[in-house]
């Protein structure tokens, strides 16, 4: 006699920002039994709680999947790093905590593809519903949601120089890049609270754990979605070297992100029929868009030596780290209590672009991804990159073994548009740094360096030094399959051709938003929770947005 598989109403695969929001919303009804499955451990590590330590989990595979791409053909054939959170909270527990929603026109663009209800006026109410901003509610912010958001305080004088220099260069000051006016230079919000990282797992999942109808299991790998014909009935997972089957009586919801969700679909027989047949995987649904349309933000660092001893350099030395760590452990204050991306900006790189296509993150230290410090002392840098790349890549499993890392290719800088925007990004960043506000601090340009002038020079620098901003998206895109054969899910995130199966994470974005991806993912999950539960959507907002009145003829 065989044991009957465990049963739940909803099985959520992945506890990242989307999975945590859905777990909370779906389990609000005590009659709905919800299971969340996470491949990584619980989120108790100091590196997932201390804001300034966010780079530590990205340096190993202990708390992240540590994927690498195939050799990127237009990036000197480098294998680019693609970390993804493997911990309760997913990438939301290891990201940089920058809270940026993107531009209103991003969502209006999605709606123009036939995705009714994804216009900005329908998304803004959900951005507000989930948010608890430290400055309270207004027409654009929420004040009583579960996701706490702090405003950057810019304590370092280099932040003030950055904001003043932006205005001296002719750009607007914007006090809230998530509000009326994204375009301009100003402070950035962050997902922190009382000196801690406030991941969506902490904001949404942990408070719901006391509910008897919600169960979370960590350190389990989901191998595939179980299907009876074209109906999703549960999942097969590996735990403690044993296979286990769990049934879902209502739906299976994939929240694994832009890499893991298409992988799981492909392992389940959902994807390009020709590709699946080549791996001897039985085809359940021929969906050629699964794993395709992969997009990401690429960025570079424009770095300078600082002529005054005011940067974060001492805080990252071994003796400084001890001091910073002790202050954070004892008081949850000081440099350890912030992500340090407390200012940035959004600009248009040339006339004729309607809303910002370049994003800055300003950091009061010159420090490379690998921890090296080119200044050998005090410095500062601006991270900059295009927001709406036209390059497209893919995610594809290599074999039938779900433990095998996938084949990933972003095709970074694969189009002339993307290369042109990155050239403009370098030059416009230099233009800001050369302004009067930086005169007391500006030393030698460390990167790209004064010898990098021509288009060819800049292109070579990008190929050698460009890095992912860690925003992989769009590999299971929302769309209208009747007119877009690469669509994977409909406007309610239902997988085409399969009943009782949805994907809810960054992979379903049709194309990238103009900014960081965590805040949009939280909003999308909250919005889709209403669709899953059959609730009426929130009433649309009539909040206005700012568009440069002379965008057709002026760059700033």
| Inter-residue contact 437 to 168 (CB < 8 Å) | yes
Reduced 3-state DSSP string for 317-349: CHHHHHHHHHHHHHHCCCHHHCCCCCEEEEECC
Does 44 participate in catalysis according to the annotation?
A: no
Short-list 271, 299, 243, CA closest to 516: 299
**What's 59's DSSP letter?**
G
162: how many CB neighbours lie within 10 A of its CB?
Answer: 29
For residue 448, say if its preceding peptide bond is cis, omega within 30 degrees of 0. yes
Q: Residue-wise over 387-406: b if at least 16 C-beta within 10 A, else e? A: bbbebbbbbbbeeeebeeeb
Widest CA span in the chain: 80
Reduced 3-state DSSP string for 272-318: CHHHHHHCCCCCCEECCCCCEEEECCEEEEEEEEECCCCCCHHHHCH
Which one from 103, 297, 471, 548 is the annotated catalytic residue? 471
Short-list 92, 127, 133, 128, CA closest to 107: 127
Phi, psi of 50 (to 5 degrees): -85, 115
Reduced 3-state DSSP string for 501-543: EEECCHHHCCCCCCCCCHHHHHHHHHHHHHHHHCCCCCCCCCC
CA separation for the pair 196, 93 (Å, rounded): 11
| Inter-residue contact 43 to 117 (CB < 8 Å) | no
CA separation for the pair 231, 226 (Å, rounded): 8
Task: Name the residue with tokens 């050799």.
Answer: 71
Task: Name the residue with tokens 């994927």.
Answer: 67
CA separation for the pair 507, 266 (Å, rounded): 14
Residues 6+ apart with CB under 8 A from 228: none
| Inter-residue contact 373 to 379 (CB < 8 Å) | yes
Tokens of 29: 């009804």
124: how many CB neighbours lie within 10 A of its CB?
Answer: 24
CA separation for the pair 277, 273 (Å, rounded): 6
CA separation for the pair 213, 387 (Å, rounded): 40
Short-list 418, 465, 12, CA closest to 252: 12
CA separation for the pair 481, 510 (Å, rounded): 12
CA separation for the pair 349, 434 (Å, rounded): 17
- Catalytic residue numbers read 471
């Amino acid at each position: 006699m065989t044991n009957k598989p465990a049963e739940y109403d909803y099985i959520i695969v992945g506890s990242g920002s989307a999975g945590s929001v859905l777990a909370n919303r779906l389990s609000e009804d005590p009659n709905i039994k919800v299971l969340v499955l996470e491949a990584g451990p619980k989120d108790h590590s100091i590196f997932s709680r201390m804001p300034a330590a966010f780079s530590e989990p990205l340096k190993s595979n202990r708390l992240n999947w540590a994927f690498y791409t195939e050799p990127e053909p237009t990036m000197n054939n480098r294998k680019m790093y693609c970390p993804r959170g493997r911990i309760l909270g997913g990438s939301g527990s290891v990201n940089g905590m920058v809270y940026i929603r993107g531009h209103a026109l991003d969502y209006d663009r999605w709606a123009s593809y036939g995705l009714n209800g994804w216009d900005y006026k329908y998304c803004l109410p959900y951005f507000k519903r989930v948010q608890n901003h430290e400055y309270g509610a207004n027409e654009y912010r929420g004040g009583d949601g579960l996701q706490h958001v702090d405003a950057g305080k810019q304590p370092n004088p280099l932040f003030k120089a950055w904001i003043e220099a932006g205005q001296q260069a002719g750009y607007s000051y914007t006090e809230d890049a998530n509000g009326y006016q994204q375009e301009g230079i100003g402070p950035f919000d962050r997902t922190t609270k009382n000196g801690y990282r406030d991941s969506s797992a902490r904001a949404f999942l942990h408070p719901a754990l006391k509910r008897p109808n919600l169960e979370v299991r960590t350190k389990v790998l989901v191998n595939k979605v179980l299907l009876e014909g074209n109906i999703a009935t549960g999942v097969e997972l590996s735990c403690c070297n044993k296979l286990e089957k769990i049934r879902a009586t209502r739906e299976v919801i994939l929240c694994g992100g832009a890499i893991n969700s298409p992988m799981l679909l492909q392992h389940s027989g959902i994807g390009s029929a020709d590709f699946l047949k080549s791996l001897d995987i039985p085809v359940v649904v021929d969906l050629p868009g699964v794993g395709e349309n992969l997009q990401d933000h690429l960025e570079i660092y424009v770095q300078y030596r600082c002529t005054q001893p005011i940067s974060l350099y001492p805080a990252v030395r071994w003796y400084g780290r001890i001091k910073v760590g002790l202050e954070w452990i004892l008081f949850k204050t000081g440099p350890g209590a912030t992500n340090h991306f407390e200012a940035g900006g959004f600009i248009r790189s040339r006339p004729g672009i309607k809303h910002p296509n370049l994003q800055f993150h300003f950091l009061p230290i010159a420090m490379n991804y690998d921890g090296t410090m080119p200044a050998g002392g005090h410095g500062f840098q601006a991270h900059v990159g295009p927001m709406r790349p036209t390059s497209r890549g893919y995610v594809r499993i290599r074999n039938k073994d779900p433990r095998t890392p996938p084949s990933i290719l972003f095709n970074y800088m694969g189009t002339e548009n993307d290369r042109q925007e990155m050239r403009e990004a370098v030059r416009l960043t230099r233009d800001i740094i050369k302004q009067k506000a930086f005169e007391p601090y500006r030393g030698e340009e460390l990167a790209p360096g004064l010898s990098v002038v021509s288009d060819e020079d800049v292109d070579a620098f990008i190929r050698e030094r460009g890095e992912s901003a860690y925003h992989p998206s769009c590999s299971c895109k929302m769309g209208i399959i009747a007119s877009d054969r690469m669509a994977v899910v409909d406007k309610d995130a239902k997988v085409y051709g399969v009943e009782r199966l949805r994907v809810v994470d960054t992979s379903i974005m049709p194309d990238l938003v103009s900014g960081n991806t965590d805040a949009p993912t939280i909003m999308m999950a909250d919005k889709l929770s209403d669709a899953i539960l059959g609730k009426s959507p929130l009433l649309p907002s009539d909040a206005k947005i700012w568009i440069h009145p002379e965008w057709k003829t002026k760059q700033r």
